[in-house]
Amino acid sequence: MGPRLFSRVNAGRAIVLVLVLTVLRHAAVRDRPALMAGAVFMSLLMAPIRLSVEKAVLLLPRKKR
């Protein structure tokens, strides 16, 4: 679950970044709301990344920790 979740959440973060950049390029008037919304979604996606790293660390053999 850890590595797969990490990949999916990073893909979601990339989508958010692309959407924010698209809004900034095409609608410069809406730059602040786009940046604020992007920051909110990026911060919401940090918790699953931390969770996936914790799950991946538990999968490592005891000797490598």
CA gap 24, 17 in Å, rounded: 11
Token pair, residue 9, equals 């959440």
| 17 located within any domain | yes
| Full residue range of the structural domain in which residue 15 is found | 2-55
User: What pTM was computed for the model?
Assistant: 0.74
The string of DSSP codes covering 5-49 is HHHHHHHHHHHHHHHHHHHHHH-GGGHHHHHHHHHHHHHHTHHHH
Alpha-carbon gap, residue 60 to 27, rounded angstroms: 46
Inside any domain, residue 49: yes
The answer to whether residue 64 is domain-embedded is no
Task: Write the pLDDT tens digit of every residue in 15-48.
Answer: 999 999 999 999 888 899 999 999 999 999 998 8
Does residue 13 register a pLDDT over 60?
A: yes
- The domain tally of the chain equals 1
Higher pLDDT, 29 or 56: 29
Q: Does any domain span residue 61?
A: no
pLDDT at 64 > cutoff 60: no
Q: Residue 58 has what pLDDT? A: 78
| Long-range Cβ contact pairs of 25-28 (< 8 A, separation 24 or more) | none
